[in-house]
Structures are given as structure tokens and as C-alpha cells.
Amino acid sequence: MKKMKMTNYMPIFVLAVVMLWAKTYISQKTQFTLEVEGGLQEFLVLINPLGSALLLLSLSLFFKGMRKYWALLSIYLGMSILLYANIVYYRFFSDFITLPTLFQTQNFGDLGGSVLTLIQPLDILFFADVLLLGALVLSKRMEKDMRAIKKRMALPLIAAALLISLFNLSLAESDRPDLLTRGFDRTYIVKYLGMYNYALYDTVESVKASSQRVMADSDDNTEVLNYTKSNYASPNEAYFGAAEGMNVIYLHLESFQTFLIDYELDGEEVTPFLNSMVEDPNTMYFDNFFHQTAQGKTSDAEFMLENSLFGLPKGSAFITKGQNTYQSAPAILKDKGYTSAVFHGNNGTFWNRSEIYKSFGYDHFFDIESYPNTTEADMAEYGLMDKPFFEQSAPLLESLPEPFYTKFITVAHHFPYKMDQQLATIEKGTTGDASVDNYFQTARYADEAIKQFFEQLEASGLADNTMIVMYGDHYGISDNHNEAMAEVLSEDITPVENAKLQRVPLFIHVPGMDGGVNDTYGGQIDLLPTVLHLLGVETQKYVHFGTDLLSEEHEELVMFRNGDYVSPEAYSIGEAFYDPDTGLPLEEGQLEEAEMLKQRGRYELQLSDGVVNGDLLRFYTPVGFTPVNPSDYYYQEPRNTEN
């Protein structure tokens, strides 16, 4: 049989460009929620993969002989892997991979099971085109053209690719001005510029953020200090010092959302103990408290409650800013005589905790190595199950000198919400969506574990002198599951309802304090000044972007990392503004004030990012504050805390 003659490299090159263009367009339309509206945006989603596909694959034209075929296949494979990785990542996080997330390698070993649940059998089709291209390159029946591609052919192709990309950018800017300078929301970048141009944009922005520390100096603090001091909210006299001298325990409620509180599944309460805490006379429950996390998820929540600084828009500050100077809660309270500790039944390296906790000034970090009695049956996918975790933590907690400031990080109620059915005390949901259906069983287990912990505190005698703060860290069910959530809540998930699903529980229990349900709008950025004021610690001299939730001066504006916000008067979602009560778009006369709030909130995000990326707190030490020296702390072995 005669070999097929290919006298020109270009047919296989054109096939590769067309296949990659088509695959990317279909993926962007079907795998991501880009909220495409109107003919122009539809055209942009269609055209934006073409320029980058043509440009990057054109790099193969500069190779000679067989190497240009291998270069074409390698570039094609790399772009396909990038696309597919974002598809899998998006299925849970409803977000796109950023450069900093790729450096969170210490977390990878614990993510295996979660990733596997996100991979679907039909995903093999994403690589069918790669196999076809590989077969053409490897085929011995196809005679290869070993001639070098002439520049007069290669350069016009590259010029055409650049022109397509510039045309794409100009149309995008006409529809959304300042797209690249106001890139709070990665969804907009992908929608307008495409997946591959987004990856380039993200790389440039990440490098710029990393360079900020080198360029920063003490003068950069002036604007930050002026802003935070002018937005300081003085404490409410009725609550200031209500917990003075008490121990502090944070209970980190993994993946808890507010809709669980008082929710009944087939007539049965999912979280009976937490429901009872809403009615507890010494507990204040905040029913309009929102998570403000981004890609750092749990670590973002911790970062905000310890520092009242926003997490980063990309990646995790725990990973990339672990060596920064901080004025965190453990360090602030150390000057008040507090001992500090974190309890977590997972590896200490997860989210770089074993390093950044030193920068926060935590005296002790009890990770999985501090729980030697753990059996395989006690382990969840992300560490020690909550009930044995609390049980084994009891002697460690009781050995700490008082007063203490502590945090317990639970893991049982974590995606993909699987558990041993012998431990389940409530049935699964019946939506047909596994994540949503499983969610109720692990939530019930976590609720039972929290009740157990409260009973342990009573038995130890610590309960009467301890403030307990329970907070949800981030959503558990992403908006990719809104169809199932509509069935759970018996209502359509509109943009406003989706925003309300970002509410997470906040309980503040203080013995002797008058409790009740508090409707104040707030977020995780507000926790630190709230807790410090309850302890009788004034916060005006610190750089805090949140304000005391109990203060009469607290402004009820909750900023999200993508630049959206919620308040009692307006919800800013994407480019639209909604009435939170009716769910309808705001009327014309209300838009100016709503837009002003958005701009002010985004300015606050920029200032906070400047503090974190520039490590600006190294240039500012409040009067009376003792700076943290991370080298004073060592967590590698379980510690005996009796002395």
C-alpha cells in the first residue's frame, strides 16, 4: 500500500487550530457559567479561543523537520490539559485556576478523593482530538514534510493571530470598559478574552503582585492608615468587655451554610443542636453573616478572622504570604496574657499552617501528630473525624494555661460529604445530586460532634469562663448545584437567592451576655474587631478592614472578593443591582448610591491587597504591640503544655 504524501505541513496545522478552537468554544459554553448576554458577548465567546489557539500553535512553525510535528502535538496537549484542569476545578469551586493555586502543592496529597469525585466518565472525550492529532503525527503511513516553514508563511499567521486577539480585546473593552484594570472577577476575563488569554493575564497579574513587596516602603501605609482609622467603628458600651478575661474558643464549622439552620429534611431537623443555640439566652446568632472567601477557601476564612485583612483574589495568602509580618489575634492577645493554640486533625503542612501560624504568633499547633490514639476508622478524607477529634483534644485543651485563645478546625463536613453509613443518623437527600444529598448526613454528624464538645466543656469546668465563637468558613454547595438546591429550598435560585446562599452561621456565646438573633449584615472580615471588643481590647490603633458587628457605627456593607457586595438596601451582582427583598433590579434613582458603594468597597479591597502583597505591616508597629518573631515558635513535635 502506498504511503499518503503530505507535501505541506499546513493541513495538519490547520486541523489542529480548528479542533482546539472548537473544543475550547464548546467547553466555555457548556462547562462554565459565563452568563453570556446578547449577540456581542456570544460572538466574543466564539472568537476568543481562535486568536490564542492560532498564536500558540504557530510557535511550532519555527521548528524544523520532525520536531515541528512534536512541537505542535506538545503545545496542543498542554493547552488541552490547561482547559480540562480548569473544567474539573470549576466543577467544585465555580472558579478558575490561578498561578498561585498551582504552588499550593502541599495540599495536593490530601485532595485525591475530592478530585476523583469531580472526574466524569465522558471526560475522556476532552482528549479524543489529542489522540487523533497524535495518531496523525505518529502514523507511518503519512509521509512527513521535513522542510522548514518559510518566514513569509509563519509571520503572517502570527500577525493574523495577534490581530484577532486585538480585535477581540477592543470589542471586549467596548462592552465592558477597563476590563483588565478592574479584573476582580475571573469569569469576566474568561468570557471576554477566553481561557488561554485569561491564563496569560493571570500570570502577568501574579508577577505584578509578587513584585509589590520589593517596591513597597513605609509611605505606602499612609493611605491605608488614613482609611482604616476613618472607618473605625467604636465599640458598643453595652457589649464592650462582656467577655473580658474569658477564654476564647473558635469552632470552625467546615462548609456550613446558613440554610441548614432550622432546615428540616423529611420533617427531621438536620442540625438540632445548632438550632437550640439560636434560642440560647447567652448566645447571639447572626443570620445575615456572609463568607468572603475566594480561592483560599478555609484558609481565607482563617486569614480574615485572625487579621481583619481580606484574603487574596488569587490563590491563598496562607501559601504565598506565610512569611509576612502580621498583627494577628494571637499576638494581640499575647500582650494581654493569653496562651494561643490551634487544634486540627490533619497534616500541619496543609494550607501551610505549620509556617503561617508562627507569623500569627500561635504558641501551639496540635496537628494530626498530636493525636497518637487515632485509628483508621477515626479518619475522614481530610483528617480526624469530628467526634474523636474533640474527644482527644480535651486533655490538650485542659492543659493550656488560662486565659487561652484557641481554634478548632473540623473536617468531617467536607466535600464530597461521604461518610460511613453506620455513623449516619439522618437519611440522605433525594435530589439525585450526590453532593447535595450527602451534605445533610455530614452536617448532622458535625452538629452532634459540636454538642459533644459543649458537654465536654461543661464537664471540665471551662464552660462558665469561655467565649465560644462558631463560624461557617465557606459555602458547601457551589452554584453548580443550583438545580438541586432549588429542589431543597422549594424556590428558584435567582441571583439574589444565590447571593443569600453565601450566608454562613455565626454564633457568639458568652456566659452572662444577653443573646438573641441579630439581623446585622456582616462578614468574616468583621470578626476580629468584634471579638476583641467583647474581650475589652480597643482596636483603633490596628489596621483592620472590618468593623465591630455590635457597634452602632458598623456599616452593613459586605464585600466579596470578586467586587460584588450585599447590604440591606442593595445586592451588587455582576453588573446589575438588585433589591434584596423583591429580587428585582433597582430602580433608576437608586443606582447612583449603589454604584458608589461598589466603588468604595473595591477601593477597600485594593487597599487590603496592598497591605498583604506589599507586606506593609512590617513598616508599622502600633504603640504597645509586641511584634512577632516566627523563629520563636516550633510545632514539629507534639508539645507538653502543662508548663
Query: Is 242 part of a structural domain of the chain?
Result: yes
Q: How far apart are CA 607 and CA 220, in angstroms?
A: 10
- pLDDT confidence of 433, banded at 50, 70, 90? very high
β-strand partners of 341: 364, 406
pLDDT above 60: residue 642 = no
DSSP-derived 3-state class of residue 579: coil
**pLDDT score recorded for residue 182:** 56
pLDDT above 60: residue 35 = yes
Q: Which of 183, 212, 241 is the last residue of a domain?
A: 212
> What phi, psi does 518 have (nearest 5°)?
-110, 120
**pLDDT score recorded for residue 305:** 97
Residues of the binding site for substrate:
414
> What phi, psi does 425 have (nearest 5°)?
-120, 15
Mean pLDDT of 374-378: 87
Mean pLDDT of 368-378: 88
- End-to-end CA, the chain: 85
Residue pLDDT, tens place only, 100-132? 666 554 544 455 556 677 788 888 888 999 999
Across 58-62, 94-98, 117-121, 302-306, least confident range:
94-98
Q: What percent of the chain has pLDDT over 90?
A: 69
Question: Which residue would you say has higher pLDDT here, 268 or 184?
Answer: 268
β-strand partners of 566: 558, 571
Same domain, 265 and 196: no
Would you give the DSSP letter of residue 268? E
**pLDDT score recorded for residue 93:** 64
| Domain with 545 in it | 218-616
- pLDDT confidence of 643, banded at 50, 70, 90? very low
Same domain, 97 and 223: no
Among candidates 628, 266, 246, 230, which has minimal Cα distance to 431? 266
As given in the structure block, the three cell numbers for residue 639 are 508539645
Across 125-139, 316-330, 572-586, 626-640, least confident range:
626-640
Query: Is 630 part of a structural domain of the chain?
Result: no
Query: Is 455 part of a structural domain of the chain?
Result: yes
Residue pLDDT, tens place only, 494-545? 999 999 999 999 999 999 999 999 999 999 999 999 999 999 999 999 999 9
Residues of the binding site:
254, 298, 414, 473-474
Among candidates 553, 547, 623, 635, which has minimal Cα distance to 327? 623
**pLDDT score recorded for residue 347:** 83
β-strand partners of 295: none
Determine the residue type at 608: S
Same domain, 169 and 303: no
Same domain, 277 and 352: yes
**pLDDT score recorded for residue 108:** 47
Q: How far apart are CA 407 and CA 363, in angstroms?
A: 12
CATH number assigned to the domain comprising residue 376: 3.40.720.10
Same domain, 231 and 206: no
Query: Is 446 part of a structural domain of the chain?
Result: yes
Question: Which residue would you say has higher pLDDT here, 44 or 92?
Answer: 44
Q: How far apart are CA 186 and CA 53, in angstroms?
A: 20
Question: Which residue would you say has higher pLDDT here, 118 or 195?
Answer: 195
Q: Check: CB of residue 136 under 8 Å from CB of residue 12.
A: yes
Same domain, 208 and 233: no
Question: Which residue would you say has higher pLDDT here, 373 or 113?
Answer: 373
Determine the residue type at 432: G
Across 134-148, 332-346, 586-600, least confident range:
134-148
Considering the chain, what is the average pLDDT of its residues?
90
> SS3 sequence, 211-265?
HHHHHCCHHHHHHHHHHHHHCCCCCCCCCCCCCCCCEEEEEEECCCCHHHCCCEE
- pLDDT confidence of 6, banded at 50, 70, 90? very low
179-211: burial string, b at 16+ Cβ within 10 Å, e else: bbeebbbbbbbbbbbbbbbbbebbeebbeebee
Q: Percentage helix, strand, coil, to 5, in the chain?
A: 50, 10, 40
Length of the chain: 643
Mean pLDDT of 2-14: 67
As given in the structure block, the three cell numbers for residue 434 are 450526590
- pLDDT confidence of 252, banded at 50, 70, 90? very high
Same domain, 125 and 223: no
Query: Is 625 part of a structural domain of the chain?
Result: no
Q: How far apart are CA 5 and CA 585, in angstroms?
A: 62
Query: Is 511 part of a structural domain of the chain?
Result: yes
Same domain, 558 and 492: yes
Residues of the binding site for Mn(2+):
254, 298, 473-474
Question: What is the DSSP track for 544-558?
Answer: -SS--TTSTT----E
As given in the structure block, the three cell numbers for residue 362 are 500561635
pLDDT above 80: residue 183 = no
Q: How far apart are CA 124 and CA 501, in angstroms?
A: 33
Q: How far apart are CA 180 and CA 172, in angstroms?
A: 10
H or E segment and range at residue 404:
strand 404-409
**pLDDT score recorded for residue 101:** 63
Query: Is 640 part of a structural domain of the chain?
Result: no
Q: How far apart are CA 458 and CA 452, in angstroms?
A: 10
Q: Which of 212, 241, 264 is the last residue of a domain?
A: 212
**pLDDT score recorded for residue 559:** 97
Q: Check: CB of residue 186 under 8 Å from CB of residue 95.
A: yes
**pLDDT score recorded for residue 140:** 74
pTM (two decimals)? 0.77
- pLDDT confidence of 567, banded at 50, 70, 90? very high
- Greatest mean pLDDT among 29-38, 47-56, 82-91, 549-558 lies in 549-558
Residue pLDDT, tens place only, 210-245? 788 888 899 999 999 999 999 999 999 999 999 999
Q: What number of CA atoms fall less than 13 Å from residue 156's CA on the CB side?
A: 4
Number of separate domains in the chain: 2
Query: Is 412 part of a structural domain of the chain?
Result: yes
Same domain, 292 and 203: no
Same domain, 604 and 576: yes
**pLDDT score recorded for residue 342:** 97
Q: What number of CA atoms fall less than 13 Å from residue 344's CA on the CB side?
A: 26
DSSP-derived 3-state class of residue 466: strand
Same domain, 311 and 179: no
Mean pLDDT of 340-346: 95
**pLDDT score recorded for residue 429:** 95
Q: Among all chains, which residue has been given the C-alpha cell 507511518?
A: 140
pLDDT above 90: residue 204 = no
Same domain, 157 and 250: no
63-86: burial string, b at 16+ Cβ within 10 Å, e else: eeeeebbebbbebbeebbebbbeb
Q: How far apart are CA 80 and CA 129, in angstroms?
A: 9
Catalytic residues: 298
Q: Which of 178, 212, 246 is the last residue of a domain?
A: 212
- pLDDT confidence of 475, banded at 50, 70, 90? very high
